[in-house]
Structure 1
Amino acid sequence: MRNTLSAAGEVGSGATLIGGSQGVLTPQRIRDFVAESLAAQDLDGRSVCVIVPDGTRSCPLPLLLSALHGALSGRAVQVTVLIALGTHAAMDEAQLARHLGYAEGALAATYPGMTIRNHEWWNPDTFVSLGSISAERVGELSGGRLHRSVEVVLNRAVVDHDVAIVVGPVFPHEVVGFSGGNKYFFPGVAGPEVIDFSHWLGALISSVEIIGTRGITPVRALIDEAASLIPSRRLALCLVAESGTDALHAASFGTPEAAWAACADISALTHVRYLDAPVARVLSIIPTRYQDMWTGAKGFYKVEPVVADGGQVILYAPHINELSAMHPAITEIGYHCRDYFLGQWDRFKDHHWGDLAHSTHLRGAGTWDPVDGERGRVTVTLATGIPEAVVRAANLDYLDPACVDRAALEADPDTLVLPQAGEVLFRLRGEQ
């Protein structure tokens, strides 16, 4: 297919854009766009930190990193690639090689002069404080939902370089509305304070309300405010990927705010599907890029809006064997709706708010009161390699994955079957 734009077009004062919601960009057009975009920037003699996603996002990183390396060679005095893990598991050498496009153990041969680091979110020595956002300002940004200050802590690799370039896709997101842009700083390479704080703010709004919301949501406003404290010059190469592939619909380069906004508008057209009526059941088949339920839960977030009251979401992932190795507390907390925690806040306020947020996101909408207890709007069923006792103790329903009859479910008019769940959002027609 032809690109919707044959040349880079201006999208406001802060970014240029190629592509659109129809068709895909050729690899050469992407390379040319990266080269043209970086050629226009003052990068000679500068140190550059490139922040990229981990393996949980669809993105042609080998192509993009090769183009970036070519555009920076002979100009930047130092190039560091920082993997934006958030609080995901670190990537080992074999995973990094596949992800970034070099032979295992041969980084220097493919990308001479480039250094690659995982974001070590578990290591306090890797962080630096940029200051704080006051309680009063948090109240303004959060729409009055939270009133306490938050320290802005970031991986020091970002501030140790003159320029920070975010490279990553934009998708509908359960915490912020649409991912990408400054989100690769916060929570991508941030300290636990901002991560927990921003995720809990999203949980207070609720995943089903914020996911796929265009424009500046309260969480996006908080993230942008934190990013404004970064002393390095910030740039972004934002992308709209064809879900589940290495193809790109569009790419935008400029400030993180402007490049993100351009791609979020396109993502809203390419990554959101609309149904005319709710469905009774969804079978979400979780891709192997998601290795635990902490990440695989995206297969629930993206479909919750179209499930009828009393319906069911089956997360089918025989390859997933644990809830979260990185967040063992989730096994103890279990999965509960937002009101379960708010109604017993003294009991839960000292837990990591990020864990509480993930819990509410996977359990979905519901109610709680001290008399009738908790009632979820839908049933969440795990058909995974996680033991039944663990699943039920975490307050979720269990189904032996061997008992999942995909053909029968595909033939059922009341069931939606998604072969590659986790990136495309489903909404009811007429909703935002």
Structure 2
Amino acid sequence: MDGRRLTRRGAYMMFVSRGSAAEEIKPETLPALVSQALEGIAGAGRVVAVPPDITRFHSRAGAITDLVYTALGPKLAAVLPALGTHASMTASEIATMYPGTPAALFRVHNWRRDPVELDRIPASFVREVGEGVVDYDYPVQANGSLVRGGPYDAIISIGQVVPHEVVGMANHAKNIFVGTGGKEAIDRSHFLGAAYGMEKMMGRADTPVRRVFNRAFELARGKLAPILWILTVMGRNEAGALVMRGFFAGDDVECFERAAALSRLVNIDQLDENVDKAIVWLDPSEFRSTWLGNKAVYRTRMAMADGGELIIMAPGLAHFGEDAGID
């Protein structure tokens, strides 16, 4: 996978497509890749970056955001972490994950107050893609500052594509419509995934929830500021070190599809037999709630034998949800 300016679907573009199961994209290579990606918003005035919070620390989104700031300077007007319902980042977390980006640029998404509704996906569509497991419509929501004609001329959505329990493969449109969405959008997308069954979705790029997000992107495209997607794929090398296997950037869904295909190769372990006992360690710097810590269950459940034992070591566990009001 190596190429630039791969035209698809009329005017939509892939700006960077690099990666394979064997490739290690070195840190010194990132500036050139980010520079190529930023050609996708050439001419934009005020830009907002939408990267993940500290729970996606290993995505390398921090380094990429720092490089975006280095390249754009004052054109990078704000950084809006895609919190969803997660707790806002602390000053220490921002300094740790984004050391090269001024803390003054960071904004906090409030999922109760900040989203606006851009459109609505009819219940008939949700029911069809979900094979009848739910019967409700879906609100297309995003942070109000991201709308076309608002304070920003372009959006850079940055994050990692990795197997995910709700949508099958994380990121792309989910980063905007859940990461900067509101209660109804978050609740309905997550319940659709739960009702459909995460065992049928984990590690798959084409799922009912993904189809809803893709449809949301189609409906919202003319209502949001133009979006440049920058997506990474991370994996471990033979020495066990976490390395970047892929870097993809574009303004359409193709960059996600390519990243998801690579993630499926490097982020899923196929076992010859089920596991009778598993021990999962949750990094205390990332996992401080059962809401996030439950990933230890989601990501092992298909591998566990009937009657198997799962032991979760979570030294950073401090609360149930990511929100004091919900707790």
The TM-score normalised by the length of structure 1 is 0.67
1:124-273 correspondence runs (5 A): 124=113, 126-159=114-147, 160=150, 161-213=152-204, 215-228=205-218, 229-230=220-221, 231=223, 232-242=225-235, 247-273=243-269
For residue 98 of structure 1, what is the amino acid of its counterpart? T
Bigger relative contact order (CA 8 A; separation at least 6): 2
The 3-state SS of whatever aligns with 2:106 is: strand
CA RMSD of aligned residues (A): 2.3
1:378-393 correspondence runs (5 A): none
Over 3 Å counting, the alpha-carbon distance change for 1:302 and 1:256 in structure 2 is farther
Q: Which moved more, 1:89-98 or 1:136-145?
A: 136-145
Task: Count matched residues.
Answer: 311
- 2:65 corresponds to which residue? 65
Structure 2: distance between partners of 1:246 and 1:276 = 24
Give, in angstroms, the shift of residue 43 of structure 1: 3.1
What per-residue deviation string (whole Å, max 9, x for no partner) do you get for residues 6-62 of structure 1?
Answer: x64566734231122113111221110110221x33432432221101111122234
Structure 2: distance between partners of 1:294 and 1:91 = 16
Aligned with 1:80 (options 78, 86, 101)? 78
1:48 is the counterpart of 2:47: yes
For residue 52 of structure 1, what is the amino acid of its counterpart? P
Over 3 Å counting, the alpha-carbon distance change for 1:31 and 1:291 in structure 2 is same
Structure 2: distance between partners of 1:211 and 1:327 = 29
What per-residue deviation string (whole Å, max 9, x for no partner) do you get for residues 138-164 of structure 1?
Answer: 223333322222322211121122222
Aligned with 1:117 (options 93, 107, 114)? 107
- 1:336 corresponds to which residue? none
Seq. identity, %? 27
For residue 93 of structure 1, what is the amino acid of its counterpart? A
What per-residue deviation string (whole Å, max 9, x for no partner) do you get for residues 385-418 of structure 1?
Answer: xxxxxxxxxxxxxxxxxxxxxxxxxxxxxxxxxx
Structure 2: distance between partners of 1:327 and 1:312 = 31
Higher-Rg member (1/2) = 1
Over 3 Å counting, the alpha-carbon distance change for 1:270 and 1:152 in structure 2 is same
The TM-score normalised by the length of structure 2 is 0.87
Q: What are the ranges of 5 or more consecutive residues in structure 1 without an aligned counterpart?
A: 109-114, 331-432
For residue 118 of structure 2, what is the amino acid of its counterpart? L
- Check conservation: 1:166, 1:256, Cα contact below 8 A: no
Runs of 4+ in 1 over 4 A off after TM superposition: 9-12, 243-246, 327-330
- 1:22 corresponds to which residue? 22
- 2:274 corresponds to which residue? 278
The 3-state SS of whatever aligns with 1:53 is: coil
Give, in angstroms, the shift of residue 107 of structure 1: 3.5
For residue 258 of structure 1, what is the amino acid of its counterpart? E
Over 3 Å counting, the alpha-carbon distance change for 1:141 and 1:49 in structure 2 is farther
The 3-state SS of whatever aligns with 2:155 is: strand
Over 3 Å counting, the alpha-carbon distance change for 1:187 and 1:327 in structure 2 is farther
